Amino acid sequence: MLFNSKDLVVFDPEKEPNTEGQSPKNETIGLVSVQGKTAFVADKDMNLSKAIGQLTGGKDTHYYSWGNFNLVRLIIYLIRQTGPVHCLMTSYSFSQTSIEQLQNRIERKDLLSFRVIIDNRVKTMSPKPFQMLMQSFDYRCTSVHAKVALLWNNNWKLSIVTSQNATDNPKLERGTIFTDPSVFEFDFKILEDEFKRGTA
């Protein structure tokens, strides 16, 4: 759908209360909404909590990260809002730091279950992180370049579709957090099939 500037509503954190009744200072800064269903976040000076803000069912969040956070850090941030979740994710690469962060969330029971689909090349490109990943998680290897994380519990079904890997880098990255259960179900079916076909 095409839109022009008159279709956009910019939320001012000093004026707009949020739906949870919290004070305006907790509002996301630089948020733009189209017809109340989509949020756009594009401010390279924002940290993760201000950029993503509060999840709202029925609203998708489109963002650029400018290297301020990676996919794992985003997952951890979202868990603070959703509560404990199951997670199935894909990544083209993994860092040791990301593995340790996920291990910590599993130990704390923030992640009720965790499975990962990783690209075959990680075995040779990043042998040390791959060794850690093998010892830590239920994983499968396949030919994958998609970066997707599915988070779900009784209250939420989230699909994060992004250019971000589970590594830190200073590059401009783009992603979308979908709250629509139908998007989650679409992604889950594909990734569940891929996981079953993958190799250990």
Q: pLDDT, tens digit, for every residue of 151-190?
A: 999 999 999 999 887 878 778 889 999 999 999 999 999 9
What contacts 5, CB < 8 A, 6 or more positions away?
none
The model's pTM: 0.79
CATH architecture of 5-197: 2-Layer Sandwich (3.30)
What is the DSSP track for 98-117?
Answer: HHHHHHHHHHTTSEEEEEEE
Quote the pLDDT of residue 164. Answer: 82
Query: What are residue 10's DSSP bridge partners?
Result: 32
Among the ranges given (103-107, 143-147, 157-161), the one the predictor scored with the smallest mean pLDDT: 143-147
pLDDT at 106: 95
Higher-confidence residue: 144 or 25? Answer: 144
pLDDT computed for residue 120 by the predictor: 85
> In terms of pLDDT, which residue wins out, 68 or 24?
68
